[in-house]
Structures are given as structure tokens and as C-alpha cells.
């Protein structure tokens, strides 16, 4: 167990006074009050809100934020190479259909390392990242520092047999990884309890986190304390009793994926010790009392993810609401709204918002007007169980909203 890190986490929010603000609040939260100790901040999949997830570009954004860690997802190729990728198939974030027609929905672990290196893992995010490749596990160590370490999530271990030993061997035998281990800047985590137990037996010196969608009973949490150092869970369903159960078992508590300032403040008010976010640069500014989006003039004020009836019904389906909060008109033509899964809504040409004006950006079909733009899609984009959306105008990130 990394005792220095654990001690810091335990005292991280001592004395922190925060107003309770629900994750779906429509007004931006005030900057958090600071103490000598601050919550541990982790960039999710590097910094997947501002760069393509699990790429070197995202890792560099995570490092640039000054976050304590950036998180990665590791799997094994069919020939046993540890590579960094989140999904079980390559369909969502690569050009696999162009490179290997008919294999888009095959397990990503069925590809050899040489095949994986032929895929573009950046252009789905924007043209700026054309040519970004799927990284090797060791690429993350090359970006990390003794200030910004790495959370290594073992992803879908059932499809990567033996991955626990591979990761443990890299951490012990590779000098760059060993340096980070010595600096207590490595944590391994998984949703798979059996995998975590295997890793704990192989490398008990490495701090370990049990991930879970919902915190279970106190008895289960106490059983996790026999092999894990911390618990990571979804902030949207976290309760005060969950917090008490985790800390009562002597475990550190982290939450994911906390993107808006309201959601960060809400999580800290519950008493969490660590926050994982797609936007570590922006949320680091928030925690330091600085403007998250300096110079931005348009905000996302709400997101209707689950309207009555069909999510993409004509004229009245799911939508994101934008508002110009500045004193000048803002041209939002071509603006992009990207959700946590990198699904995209756009704004058409000719939309200039006067001060105080609002625009509803719909996923489905409808009649465009000065107050509404319809993307004409046939498939829901926004997650009904809660989502976060980021607004981009040109190359500038304007706002992040979560519900």
C-alpha cells in the first residue's frame, strides 16, 4: 500500500466547506475553498474531454493539467502486447472499417499489435488528431512524471487472460515504471473483483482500487478491504451512507466521471477523496479558484436527455440548451456539442445569439428556427441515465454541463 498517498487522501477534504449543489444545477458553481490539502484529481483516459481518449495526446493534456494522475485502460493484443484502449471493439474510436472491413465489431483483443498500429485512433475526435495511434502500455510511463502519475485500469480481463501478471511485470521490471512506483504515483484498478484479487496476490506492494457502478453493502465493502486500498464509483448514485460505509471500512473513496464544476463541488461536499474527470485542465482551474473557461460567452444551461415519448421524435425530442451570457452577440454557427461518449451534435450556419438569447439544439428532426436547430438524427445521443456535454466553438472549449 502506498501509505503517503493514502494519508494525503484521508486528509484531503478536511475542513473543506462546500455548498451542496446537485449535479444537474443550471448555475455554475463558485470555486471551491482551498485548504492545504486538496482532493486528488485524475484525468480520465488521459484527458478525454479535450483530446482523443487513451492516446498520447490525451496523456499529455492530463499531464499539462497538473493533475495528480491520468487514467488509462490496458488490454492485451492477440499476440500478448499490452495496449491502451477502452472499448471491447474498435468500432467507436478508430477507422477500423476502412482498414479492416468487416472487423469493426470484432473484439479489439483479437487484433495483433501490428494490426492495432495500423488504426487511426484520433481522427474521430477532430482533424487535429489524425494519425494518433493506439499506444503501448509503456507509452503512458513515458508521459507520466513523479508529479502526475498513472491510474492503470485493467479493462475486461476476461478477454486478456494473464494480463495481471503482464502489468505487474512491467511495473517491476521497466525502469520508467519502477521510478513511478517508487514515487507512489501508480494505482491499479478494475471493475473485475477476481482480477483485482489476482493482482493483489501478484503485486501486493501496488495500491489497488475496486471499481463499482454502485457501492454495495457494508459487508461487501469490508471484504474488499482485505485486498484493495480504495473504491471508485459513479458519483451520480453515491449516497452519504455509501461514503460512510467505504470510509468505515478504512478505504479511500474516489468518484468518476465528474465533468462539470457543479458535479465536482457536489462530490466534494459528499466527502469523496478523489475525483476522476474528462476535463482535468478545466477542473484544476476550478479547484484553484480560477475561471474554468476564460473568455467564454456561451453556456450550456440544460440538457433534456429523456423527454416524454421518443427521444428523437420530430420537433420535440432530446436537446441541449445554449445561452449567450455575454454582453455581445456570439456566432455559434458550426459549434459542436460532444457528449461523454464522443457523440456529436452540431449547430448549423447562420446562428448568431444576441446577449441573453437561447438556442435549443435537438438530436432529431424538426423545423429550424431562430430558437431551435435540428440535427435530423434518428438515434438518441444523450444518455438517459445522465450525461455530460461539452460545447466547442471553433477550437475553443466554451462550457461543460452534466446531469
Sequential pLDDT tens for the chain (403 residues) = 333 344 344 333 333 222 233 344 333 444 444 333 578 999 999 999 999 999 999 999 999 999 999 999 999 999 999 999 999 999 999 999 999 999 999 999 999 999 999 999 999 999 999 999 999 999 999 999 999 999 999 999 999 999 999 999 999 999 999 999 999 999 999 999 999 999 999 999 999 999 999 999 999 999 999 999 999 999 999 999 999 999 999 999 999 999 999 999 999 999 999 999 999 999 999 999 999 999 899 999 999 999 999 999 999 999 999 999 999 999 999 999 999 999 999 999 999 999 999 999 999 999 999 999 999 999 999 999 999 999 999 999 999 999 9
- Residue 38's pLDDT is 79
User: Is residue 232 a contact partner of residue 209, using CB atoms and an 8 Å limit?
Assistant: yes
b/e string for 242-267 if b means 16 or more Cβ within 10 A? bbebbbebebbbbbbbbbbbbbbbbb
The pLDDT assigned to 22 comes to: 39
**Range 3-287: architecture per CATH:** Alpha-Beta Barrel (3.20)
What pLDDT, on the 0 to 100 scale, is given for residue 215?
98
**pLDDT at residue 9, rounded to an integer:** 43
Listed in sequence order, the residues at least 6 apart from 25 whose beta carbon sits closer than 8 Å to its beta carbon are 262, 266
What is 298-402's CATH number?
2.60.40.1260
pTM of the model: 0.91
Q: What is the pLDDT of residue 30?
A: 44
Q: What is the pLDDT, as a whole number, of residue 31?
A: 41
Domain boundaries, the chain: 3-287, 298-402
In this prediction, residue 400 carries a pLDDT of 98
Q: What are phi and psi of 180, to 5 degrees?
A: -70, -40
Q: What is the 3-state secondary structure (H, E, C) of the chain?
A: CCHHHHHHHHCCCCCCCCCCCCCCCCCCCCCCCCCCCCCEEEECCCCCCCCCCCCHHHHHHHHHCCCCEEEEEEEECCCCCEEECCCCCCCCCCCHHHHCCCCCCCCHHHCCHHHHCCCCCCCCCCHHHCCCCCCEHHHHHHHCCCCCEEEEEECCHHHCCCHHHHHHHHHHHCHHHHHHHHCCCEEEEECCHHHHHHHHHHCCCCEEEEEECCCCCHHHHHHHCCCCCEEEEEHHHCCHHHHHHHHHCCCEEEEECCCCHHHHHHHHHHCCCEEEECCHHHHHHHHCCCCCCCCCCEEEEEEECCCCCCCCCCCCCCEEEEEECCCCCEECCCCEEEECCCCEEECCCCCEECCCCEEEEECCCCCCECCEEECCCCCCCCCCCCCEEEEEECCEEEEEEEC
CB 274 within 8 A of CB 253: yes
d(CA 47, CA 65): 9
Amino acid at each position: 500500500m502506498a501509505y503517503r498517498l493514502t494519508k494525503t487522501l484521508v486528509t484531503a477534504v478536511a475542513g473543506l466547506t462546500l455548498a451542496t449543489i446537485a449535479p444537474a444545477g443550471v448555475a455554475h458553481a463558485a470555486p471551491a475553498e482551498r485548504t492545504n490539502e486538496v482532493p486528488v484529481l485524475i484525468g480520465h483516459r488521459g484527458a478525454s474531454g479535450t483530446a482523443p481518449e487513451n492516446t498520447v495526446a490525451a496523456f499529455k493534456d492530463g499531464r499539462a493539467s497538473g493533475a495528480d494522475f491520468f487514467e488509462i485502460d490496458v488490454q492485451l493484443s492477440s499476440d500478448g502486447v499490452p495496449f491502451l484502449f477502452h472499448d471491447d471493439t474498435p468500432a467507436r474510436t478508430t477507422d477500423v472499417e476502412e482498414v479492416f472491413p468487416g472487423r469493426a465489431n470484432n473484439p479489439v483483443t483479437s487484433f495483433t499489435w501490428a494490426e492495432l498500429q495500423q488504426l487511426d485512433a484520433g481522427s474521430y475526435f477532430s482533424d487535429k488528431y489524425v494519425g494518433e495511434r493506439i499506444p503501448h502500455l509503456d507509452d503512458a510511463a513515458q508521459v507520466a512524471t513523479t508529479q502526475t502519475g498513472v491510474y492503470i485500469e485493467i479493462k475486461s480481463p476476461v478477454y486478456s487472460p494473464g494480463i495481471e501478471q503482464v502489468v505487474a511485470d512491467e511495473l517491476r521490471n521497466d525502469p520508467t515504471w519502477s521510478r513511478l512506483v517508487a514515487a507512489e504515483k501508480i494505482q491499479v484498478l478494475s471493475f473485475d473483483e477476481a482480477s483485482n484479487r489476482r493482482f493483489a496476490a501478484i503485486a501486493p506492494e501496488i495500491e489497488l482500487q475496486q471499481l463499482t457502478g454502485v457501492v454495495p453493502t457494508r459487508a461487501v465493502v469490508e471484504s474488499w478491504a482485505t485486498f484493495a486500498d480504495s473504491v471508485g464509483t459513479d458519483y451520480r448514485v453515491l449516497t452519504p451512507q455509501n461514503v460512510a460505509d467505504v470510509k468505515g471500512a478504512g478505504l479511500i473513496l474516489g468518484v468518476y466521471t465528474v465533468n462539470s464544476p457543479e458535479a465536482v463541488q457536489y462530490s466534494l461536499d459528499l466527502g469523496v477523496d478523489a475525483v476522476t474527470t474528462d476535463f482535468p485542465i478545466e477542473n484544476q482551474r476550478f479547484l484553484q479558484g480560477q475561471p474554468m473557461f476564460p473568455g467564454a460567452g456561451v453556456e450550456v444551461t440544460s440538457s433534456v436527455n429523456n423527454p416524454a415519448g421518443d427521444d428523437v421524435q420530430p420537433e420535440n425530442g432530446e436537446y441541449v440548451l445554449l445561452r449567450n451570457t455575454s454582453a455581445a452577440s456570439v456566432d455559434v454557427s458550426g459549434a459542436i456539442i460532444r457528449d461523454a461518449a464522443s457523440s456529436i451534435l452540431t449547430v448549423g450556419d447562420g446562428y448568431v445569439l444576441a446577449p441573453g438569447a437561447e438556442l435549443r439544439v435537438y438530436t432529431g428532426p424538426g423545423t429550424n428556427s431562430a430558437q431551435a436547430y435540428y440535427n435530423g438524427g434518428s438515434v438518441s445521443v444523450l444518455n438517459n441515465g445522465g450525461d455530460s456535454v461539452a460545447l466547442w466553438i471553433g477550437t475553443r472549449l466554451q462550457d461543460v454541463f452534466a446531469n
